[in-house]
């Protein structure tokens, strides 16, 4: 088929017979029937040449409309553009049908549909179902028809309104159990699948390569690379409006079933067809111009191009060595890449954000292709490229997803998606409609990465984990600022700036969502936990959030403006740090996974030591400062808990020395003391937002990932450090040491009299919590769940679904 199509539409050919102009006016059905007969002969070269001549006229590269610089339509061939395109589509339908009726042709093709998958694609606000009993992947979903035709009696299911769009997984045994399939999508026996007659789809094999190339010509011609590298939404929407009939035609073809999807898959993935059509431009001025636009657009597809040289670098990690660091951090990390000697002032000159420090990209990156400019070898690859450039138009997304029931296409498309992953991140960062684009990215990616076998395959063959972690690092690099925690002047640590649009708008969530999705698969998570280089790199990513959104206590005047960046900070830690952590922990529940926990604990401690060195920490936290964000501490605490509780590891075997334990204790303890200060109104000049942070820290959606690990880590420290040292440290942090004297009078130099009693109550309450909270000290999962349910139900009646939402267990 591929050879026949190539002969018809590309490659070196002898001089083509000139089809008379009157030929276009002939009856389309008769012409199509004549060409089909000619192509059915054993020697079909003449028929192929005649079809090529017709297609070159009907789908000429001279015909596509371009959007001029002033936004007006310009047609190369003159006349009414709508009529011309409609005529071209009519010709394509007649040719596909081979002279017969197009509707009859569609019905005939549908009769040979071997697909056992539903694959129905929906967009936002579609009502769908999710059955947790039948689902293998947590992202599994069903359309209403498949759900009602399946047997889900007594199952744990819910009906929901889709936010980003999705596709029905009925019939896919990689995503859901076969017992949940509806009657229409039970596994079909191969003996029941009829063979497709050879001549039914013959014309499709010849016509579709040229049609898809014509579509790509439209996309190339319509795109203008602006000076600021931000496409004009008006221009993009105009081009997409012109292309809607062509994309709708392709979408209709996918609905004919598996037989037609198989032909489309061969056309989209055949490299020779693509090479012949895209290289054989000849003297066609319009085609040459569009090809030049394509090459210009490709230049910005890599992660390393001139205007983006200075980025956070990745190094080949050596044992015990961090992969990322800022200038001057060499003493703490041992081995570093090339360093940039300059600091980059913030654009607004604000001293509040500090200075950015960057390092250059190291050439020893694990997979250099992640950074390279893209190279395309098939229609599918370039089609996805333009889909990204045009910011995921819904029609194109629907067409690409409608093809997924074809397994060969699904594998090829997933690999292509991974190949373009860095480019997706770059486009998302620049988009003015990041919310819409984010939803459409997830609409695609959730269909690809929910399948464990496919996720494992692309992890092994395409370095999916390396790409995802690298892309997340590069994305966050653009909003890193110097940390002011502890030693403001000499700190070498960098954190994300929670005031940046990237964090405020949750622009990162599609990529984090994909990462969480693939870590839900045991085979993929196992590879991540076994890869020491990936663990080191990931800990460095987590360190970007360590100490972010620093609060400084106002001692004199009330703040003029209350920053709301804490919303972004808590969301970022929960989504980008905590949820991947819980995904990894879910695969470390048995004794056989001890080594995974040891790996995480090892590199977590190394990252923490690097962090202490970077902030110039000695033995006391800076006064009147608090950050609620210590994800590295919490990673260590939770894997420590898992090691002792589930993997039968001795606690002392995964603990650091006494000096490190003392350091680990200080910042979680500072948070507990600051909570008491906030409740005592000592932070009142900071406004209501500081109370909002204190409440969020202990709120049900966040406590499992924030205060609970902090308390457990302090319990461990209390059990292993000298008791006198620990208790004295607690009272010092709460500033109540002077209240514990036996003298008849005392003088507290750090607390006002009005705050003394409430701070002492806070210190004693903390000690009670430390002694009584048993979440990670022997309670079983069932006991914890019961305690969580009791806590929720004692306040109010709850439905089953609302309890699931409230209990983050």
Helices 271-279 and 2-9, packing angle to 10 deg: 10
Q: Are residues 678 and 536 located together in one domain of the fold?
A: yes
Tell me the three state secondary structure of residue 74: strand
- Residue 129's CATH number: 2.10.110.30
Summarised one tens digit per residue, pLDDT across range 558-567 is: 888 888 899 9
> Which DSSP string do the residues of 704-756 spell out, in sequence order?
TTTHHHHHHHHHHHHHHS-HHHHHHHHHHHTT-GGGG--SS----SSS-HHHH
Contacts of 242 (CB under 8 A, 6+ apart): 65, 73, 81, 85, 218, 222
Mean pLDDT value of segment 321-350:
35
Structure confidence at residue 192 as a pLDDT band (50, 70, 90)? low
Give the burial class of 665: count Cβ atoms within 10 A of its Cβ; 0-12 exposed, 13-18 middle, 19 or more buried: buried
pLDDT at 543 exceeding the cut of 50: yes
CA dihedral 23, 29, 31, 36 (to 10 degrees): 160
pLDDT at residue number 16: 40
Summarised one tens digit per residue, pLDDT across range 246-297 is: 999 999 999 999 899 999 999 999 999 999 888 866 666 777 888 888 988 8
Q: Are residues 439 and 512 located together in one domain of the fold?
A: no
Structure confidence at residue 358 as a pLDDT band (50, 70, 90)? very low
* Sign of the CA dihedral with 522 first, then 527, 529, and 530 last: positive
Residue 158, phi then psi, degrees to nearest 5: -145, 155
- Cβ atoms 423, 374 nearer than 8 A: yes
Q: Are residues 531 and 680 located together in one domain of the fold?
A: yes
pLDDT at 86 exceeding the cut of 90: no
Residue 114, phi then psi, degrees to nearest 5: -90, 0
pLDDT at residue number 147: 93
Last residue of a domain, one of 720, 748, 768: 720
**DSSP structural state of residue 574:** I
Rounded distance between C-alpha atoms, residue 684 and residue 690, angstroms: 8
pLDDT at residue number 356: 38
CA angle 254, 259, 265 (to 5 degrees): 65
Q: Are residues 431 and 509 located together in one domain of the fold?
A: no
Summarised one tens digit per residue, pLDDT across range 130-181 is: 998 999 888 899 999 999 999 999 998 989 998 888 999 998 888 899 999 9
pLDDT at 337 exceeding the cut of 70: no
Contacts of 427 (CB under 8 A, 6+ apart): 388, 389, 391, 437
Rounded distance between C-alpha atoms, residue 658 and residue 725, angstroms: 12
Q: Are residues 158 and 218 located together in one domain of the fold?
A: no
> What Cα–Cα distance (Å) separates residue 278 from each residue in 207, 447, 680, 760?
16, 30, 71, 77
Rounded distance between C-alpha atoms, residue 28 and residue 135, angstroms: 50
Tell me the three state secondary structure of residue 795: coil
pLDDT at residue number 622: 85
Rounded distance between C-alpha atoms, residue 340 and residue 327, angstroms: 7
pLDDT at 720 exceeding the cut of 70: yes
Classify residue 775: in a domain, yes or no: no
- List the beta strands (DSSP E) in 303-439: 339-345, 355-359
**DSSP structural state of residue 496:** E
Mean pLDDT value of segment 373-391:
94
Q: Are residues 482 and 410 located together in one domain of the fold?
A: no
Q: Are residues 370 and 413 located together in one domain of the fold?
A: yes
pLDDT at residue number 619: 79
Lowest mean pLDDT among 143-152, 193-202, 499-508: 193-202
Classify residue 95: in a domain, yes or no: no
Chain centre distance of CA 802: 27
pLDDT at 591 exceeding the cut of 50: yes
- List the beta strands (DSSP E) in 620-662: 625-626
Classify residue 736: in a domain, yes or no: no
Classify residue 566: in a domain, yes or no: yes
pLDDT at residue number 290: 83
- Cβ atoms 736, 759 nearer than 8 A: yes
pLDDT at residue number 809: 53
pLDDT at 659 exceeding the cut of 80: yes
Lowest mean pLDDT among 75-79, 508-512, 682-686, 749-753: 75-79
Rounded distance between C-alpha atoms, residue 281 and residue 293, angstroms: 14
- List the beta strands (DSSP E) in 124-181: 127-131, 157-161, 166-167
Q: Pick 526 or 293 by higher pLDDT.
A: 526
Structure confidence at residue 232 as a pLDDT band (50, 70, 90)? low
Contacts of 763 (CB under 8 A, 6+ apart): 673, 676, 730, 731, 734, 736
Q: Are residues 505 and 405 located together in one domain of the fold?
A: no
Residue 611's domain comprises: 463-720
Summarised one tens digit per residue, pLDDT across range 466-493 is: 999 999 999 998 899 999 998 888 889 9
Q: Are residues 488 and 515 located together in one domain of the fold?
A: yes
pTM value? 0.85
- Cβ atoms 390, 236 nearer than 8 A: yes
Classify residue 599: in a domain, yes or no: yes
Find, among 447, 404, 454, the residue nearest to 141 by Cα: 447
Summarised one tens digit per residue, pLDDT across range 388-407 is: 999 999 999 999 999 999 99
Q: Are residues 709 and 575 located together in one domain of the fold?
A: yes
Classify residue 194: in a domain, yes or no: no
Q: How many domains does the chain have?
A: 4
Contacts of 333 (CB under 8 A, 6+ apart): 321, 322, 325, 610
Classify residue 104: in a domain, yes or no: no
Rounded distance between C-alpha atoms, residue 301 and residue 670, angstroms: 45
pLDDT at 66 exceeding the cut of 70: no
Q: Are residues 681 and 804 located together in one domain of the fold?
A: no
Contacts of 306 (CB under 8 A, 6+ apart): none
H/E element, 267: helix 258-269
pLDDT at residue number 314: 34
Classify residue 185: in a domain, yes or no: no
- Cβ atoms 390, 232 nearer than 8 A: no
Q: Are residues 424 and 488 located together in one domain of the fold?
A: no
By percentage, how much of the chain surpasses pLDDT 90?
A: 56
């Amino acid at each position: 088929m591929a050879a026949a199509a190539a002969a018809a539409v590309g490659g070196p050919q002898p001089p083509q017979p000139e089809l008379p102009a009157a030929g276009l006016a002939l009856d389309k059905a008769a012409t199509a029937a004549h060409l089909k007969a000619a192509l059915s002969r054993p020697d079909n070269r003449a028929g192929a040449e005649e079809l090529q001549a017709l297609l070159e006229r009907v789908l000429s590269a001279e015909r596509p409309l371009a959007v001029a610089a002033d936004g007006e339509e310009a047609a190369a061939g003159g006349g009414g553009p709508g009529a011309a395109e409609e005529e071209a589509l009519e010709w394509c339908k007649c040719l596909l049908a081979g002279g017969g009726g197009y509707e009859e042709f569609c019905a005939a093709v549908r009769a040979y549909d071997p697909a056992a998958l539903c694959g129905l694609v929906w967009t936002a606000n579609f009502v769908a179902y999710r059955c947790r009993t039948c689902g293998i992947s947590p992202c599994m979903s069903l359309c209403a028809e498949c759900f009602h035709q399946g047997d889900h009696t007594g199952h744990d299911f819910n009906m929901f309104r889709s936010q980003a769009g999705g596709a029905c997984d009925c019939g896919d045994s990689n995503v859901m159990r076969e017992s949940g399939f509806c009657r229409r999508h039970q596994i079909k026996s191969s003996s029941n699948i009829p063979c497709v007659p050879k001549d039914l789809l013959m014309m499709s094999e010849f016509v579709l390569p040229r049609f898809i190339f014509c579509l790509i010509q439209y996309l190339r011609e319509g795109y203008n690379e602006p000076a600021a590298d931000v496409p004009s939404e008006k221009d993009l929407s105009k081009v997409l409006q012109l292309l809607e009939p062509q994309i709708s035609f392709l979408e209709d073809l996918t609905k004919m079933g598996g037989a037609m999807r198989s032909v489309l898959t061969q056309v989209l993935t055949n490299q020779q067809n693509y090479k012949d059509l895209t290289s054989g431009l000849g003297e066609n001025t319009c085609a040459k111009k569009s090809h030049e636009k394509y090459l210009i657009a490709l230049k910005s597809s890599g992660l390393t191009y001139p205007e983006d040289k200075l980025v956070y670098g990745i190094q080949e990690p050596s044992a015990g060595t961090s992969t990322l660091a800022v200038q001057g951090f060499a003493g703490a990390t041992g081995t570093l890449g090339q360093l940039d000697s300059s600091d980059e002032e913030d654009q607004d000159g604000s001293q509040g954000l500090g200075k950015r420090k960057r390092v250059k990209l190291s050439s020893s990156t694990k997979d250099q292709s992640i950074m390279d400019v893209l190279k395309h070898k098939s229609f599918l690859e370039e089609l996805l490229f333009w889909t990204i450039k045009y910011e995921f138009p819904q029609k194109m997304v629907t067409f690409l997803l409608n093809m997924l029931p074809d397994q060969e296409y699904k594998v090829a498309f997933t690999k292509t998606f991974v190949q373009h992953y860095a480019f997706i991140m770059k486009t998302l960062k620049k988009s003015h409609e990041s919310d819409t684009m984010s939803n459409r990215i997830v609409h695609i990616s959730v269909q690809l990465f929910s399948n464990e076998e496919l996720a494992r395959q692309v992890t092994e063959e395409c370095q999916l984990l390396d790409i995802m972690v690298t892309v997340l690092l590069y994305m966050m690099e653009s909003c890193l600022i110097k940390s002011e925690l502890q030693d403001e002047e000499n700190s070498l640590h960098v954190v994300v700036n929670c005031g940046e649009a990237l964090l405020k708008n949750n622009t990162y969530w599609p990529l984090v969502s994909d990462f969480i999705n693939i870590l839900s698969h045991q085979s993929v998570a196992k590879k991540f936990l076994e890869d020491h280089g990936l663990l080191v790199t990931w800990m460095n990513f987590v360190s970007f959030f360590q100490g972010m959104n620093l609060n400084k206590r106002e001692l004199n005047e009330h703040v003029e403006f209350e920053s709301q960046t804490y919303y972004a900070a808590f969301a970022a830690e929960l989504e980008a740090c905590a949820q991947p952590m819980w995904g990894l922990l879910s695969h470390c529940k048995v004794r056989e996974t001890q080594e995974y926990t040891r790996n995480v604990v090892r590199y977590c401690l190394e990252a923490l030591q690097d962090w202490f060195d970077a902030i110039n920490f000695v033995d006391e936290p800076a006064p009147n400062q608090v950050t609620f964000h210590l994800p590295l501490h919490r990673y260590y605490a939770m894997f420590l808990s898992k090691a002792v509780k589930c993997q039968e590891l001795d606690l002392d075997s995964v603990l650091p020395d006494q000096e490190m334990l003392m350091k680990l204790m200080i910042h979680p303890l500072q948070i507990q003391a600051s909570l008491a200060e906030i409740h005592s109104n000592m932070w009142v000049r900071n406004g209501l937002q500081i109370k909002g942070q204190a409440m969020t820290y202990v709120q049900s959606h966040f406590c499992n990932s924030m205060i609970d690990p902090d308390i457990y880590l302090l319990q461990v420290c209390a059990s292993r450090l000298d008791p006198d040292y620990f208790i004295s440290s607690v009272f010092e942090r709460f500033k109540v040491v002077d209240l514990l004297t036996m003298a008849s009078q005392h003088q507290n130099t750090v607390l006002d009299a009005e705050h003394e009693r409430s701070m002492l109550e806070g210190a004693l309450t903390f000690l009670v919590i430390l002694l009584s909270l048993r979440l990670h000290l022997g309670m079983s999962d069932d006991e914890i769940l019961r305690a969580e349910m009791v806590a929720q139900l004692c306040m109010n009646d709850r439905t089953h679904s609302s309890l699931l939402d409230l209990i983050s267990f």
